[in-house]
Amino acid sequence: MSAPRRSLAAALAVATGLALVAVTVDLFLGAARLAPRDVLAALVGGDVAPWVRDVVWLDRVPRVALGLAVGAALAVAGTLFQALVRNPLADPYVIGVGPGALLGAAGAGALGFSGRSVGGLSAAAVGAFAGAVLAAALVLGVAGRRGRDAGARLLLAGVAVGAFVTAVATWALYVENESWQDAVRWLLGSLAFADAPRIALAAVATGALTLLAWARARDLDALALGDEAARLCGVDTTRTVRGLAAAGCVLVAAAVAAAGLVGFVGLVVPHVARRLAGPRHRRLLPVAALLGGGLLVAADAIARSAKAEVPVGVVTALLGAPVFAVLVRRSARAGA
């Protein structure tokens, strides 16, 4: 086995191990205090009380599944955007997808759709998904189809559209105060409402679009070197940036619709994954997906260990901000 393959195997083993630890902890923690042997028995179909089985299979297992899918989606999207705009500070919400989701969730309440559902998803979730997709489409339209520096134009368009959409969403919440609670829930992020439709949405989007990004790994490697280098490698930079940005936007839209705005996963995880797997995206993307899923599941375990459950987005910020600060500090020392 060649050295690169051993390196990839080691990185995948570490990322998988961390994810499995997070999953195990999350399955054993919760508001209901269950003995470990009862959790194990429920998982393998043993003889336990019906309510114990319900807690494990209707609450904890769905939360773990949703956390893995959403965390992977955000990590892969963050990896994509950092490569496309060539900015290590880029996160999944850099091009206005987050504000668009907030506007969609607020709009669903303002239009009187609270309490309704579409395909098993709440009106707020559907509104968040639609708002995120529309904001992304607007950003891609503003960025334009032609011209050089497609990544830079994408970043600038995202800043402009994000500011505009945030202002509209804030105004909607101000004039329609009945919808603010749903919108705030999307701002904070939560896995508490994990169910089959949300898990299916996040899992299908994550699986399909991660495979698409992985298939374009060589293009991502070329784009990371700059537009001129990418063109010399035969990459149509504008079309590639737009296509992969659209894939990243759908990943984020699905994650936001399923769990709300969960911060720092897509910002921090790609940096940690690069330290494990290196900069090549064929190795980086699967490692980032595993680490992202594990991080969000671990954050959910911490969120549920408190007396009153804390929004998972708050926990990821508390965990992610110090880690990111350490990474920035180490990068500064390395460049000194």
For 254-283, the pLDDT digits (tens) are 999 899 889 899 999 999 999 999 999 999
Q: pLDDT tens-digit profile of 166-178? A: 888 777 776 665 5
CATH number at residue 328: 1.10.3470.10
Domain range for 116 is: 3-335
Average pLDDT along the chain? 86
Q: Minimum mean pLDDT among 35-49, 93-107, 110-124, 201-215: which range? A: 110-124
More confident residue, 99 or 70: 70
Our count of domains for the chain comes to 1
| Element of type H or E holding 117 | strand 117-118
CA-nearest of 48, 55, 80 to 242 is: 80
How far apart, in whole angstroms, are the C-alpha atoms of residue 241 and residue 81?
Answer: 9
CA-nearest of 324, 220, 234, 211 to 279 is: 220
What's the confidence (pLDDT) of residue 145?
65
Residue 121 pairs with which residues in a beta bridge?
A: 118
pLDDT band of residue 2 (cuts 50, 70, 90) is very low
How far apart, in whole angstroms, are the C-alpha atoms of residue 11 and residue 199?
Answer: 26
More confident residue, 309 or 207: 207
More confident residue, 21 or 87: 21
Residue 122 pairs with which residues in a beta bridge?
A: 117
